[in-house]
Structure 1
């Protein structure tokens, strides 16, 4: 009997430690973690430079912000004049995310993966967040800059992620109803957070 696949999507606020948690969780569960690797894979498959994907990674250019729910689930072909458009760069990444989820158990970080994979019953969507104070404390250890600069960076990145999510999904990025499980990462250390998440996954995995 084929072993059932488990796909975990992780959305995270900047400074919450979400990527660190994703990597630690991947190590604990022996699952590959996909973050910026998705850009490289989309580049390899499409022939479009990875740099172009990086320019719009979890970021929407201001001129496009009015549209909502732009994800269609069907990338354009190279013959199309809009093949390298921002929207098609997203579609190509989304196609990679679906291919990954179709073939293996894994963890996928950000990039609207929860929405892209919303029709799959074997996907658990997690959202990690923390208070501004807790995020700032974490960022002081990781990023150089004054507290004012770090707070601005935090707000800017979260704003970009929220706009990106809204633009492609039509949903609010920080709405708990979009996710299976939301966790405040400021309430305990990484090891205990991992135990909480693992316990939740074990319970939910019985239902998949």
Structure 2
């Protein structure tokens, strides 16, 4: 089991996907939202709206109240009232995945949820701002201004989310992870190889 945390534009998701493909295992990111949706009975789009974000006013309950009354899932899920509940669903799914299969999980505070599990390797991917800007502009086809705003906003959401659900831990603190890699210096393929090597050293592959 490998968990990935990543700065926006670093290539962390690509690294995670390549690693999973080379190891012949599943890579979970948004698929966890699908599973959480199935577990709760709520529409998956609701989970996507608050994924790795902290809402300052009202949490999930406020968000649900703002949806059209005609949505049948609102009436039958009145007890689903907070982002905390979403995190609870996700955590249960992550714990179950760790117990039942070898896989790669991207985001969702998976490193924290699975802390103490000796069969889990946690990875943090970071890179210089210029590198992230260039990748974001190329991948999204946007201007430097839009790319910069996207990186800043997304990383803030991820940092706030991590701090809130881990009881105050700082998202980019290398102490939280088994290994931290600079994707510009190491390269996408190099990061994959280094994580594989760490898995070998720990006897996990």
Question: Smaller-chain TM-score range?
Answer: 0.7 to 0.9
Write the distance in 2 (CA, Å) between the matches of 1:196 and 1:143: 27
CA distance in 1, matches of 2:203, 2:131: 30
Aligned-residue RMSD, C-alpha: 2.0
Moved segments of 4+, more than 3 Å? 79-82
Within 2, Cα distance between the matches of 1:26 and 1:176? Answer: 23
TM-score scaled to structure 2, two decimals? 0.86
Distance 1:46 1:131 in 2: 39
2:131 is aligned to: 134
Give the drift of 1:81: 5.3
More helix per residue: 1 or 2? 2
Paired position in structure 1 for 2:102 = 105
Distance 2:127 2:8 in 1: 9
**Aligned CA distance change for structure 1 residues 63 and 41 (closer, same or farther; 3 Å):** same
Q: Give secondary structure in 2 for the equivalent of 1:141.
A: helix
**Partner in structure 2 of residue 73 of structure 1:** none
How far apart in 1 are the matches of 2:184 and 2:24? 25
Match of residue 36, structure 2, among 36, 42, 54: 42
Q: What is the aligned length?
A: 189
State TM-score, norm by structure 1. Answer: 0.85
Q: Does 1:154 align with 2:151?
A: yes
Work out whether 1:204 is the aligned partner of 2:198.
no
Could you tell me which runs of 5 or more consecutive residues in structure 2 were left unpaired when the two chains were aligned. 60-75
Aligned 1:185-204 pairs, distance under 5 A: 185-204=183-202
Which residue of 1 is the match for residue 72 of structure 2?
A: none
Taking the TM superposition and a 5 Å limit, the aligned residue runs for 1:58-207 are: 58-63=52-57, 82-170=79-167, 171-205=169-203
Which residue among 3, 7, 12 is the counterpart of 1:9? 3
SS in 2 for 1:128: strand
SS at match of 1:182: strand
Deviation at 1:204, TM superposition (A): 2.1
Deviations 1:75-128 (A, max 9, x none): xxxx99542421101111111111111100110000000001113111110000
Find 1:25's aligned residue among 19, 26, 48: 19
Gaps of 5+ in 1: 1-6, 66-78
Distance 1:63 1:205 in 2: 46
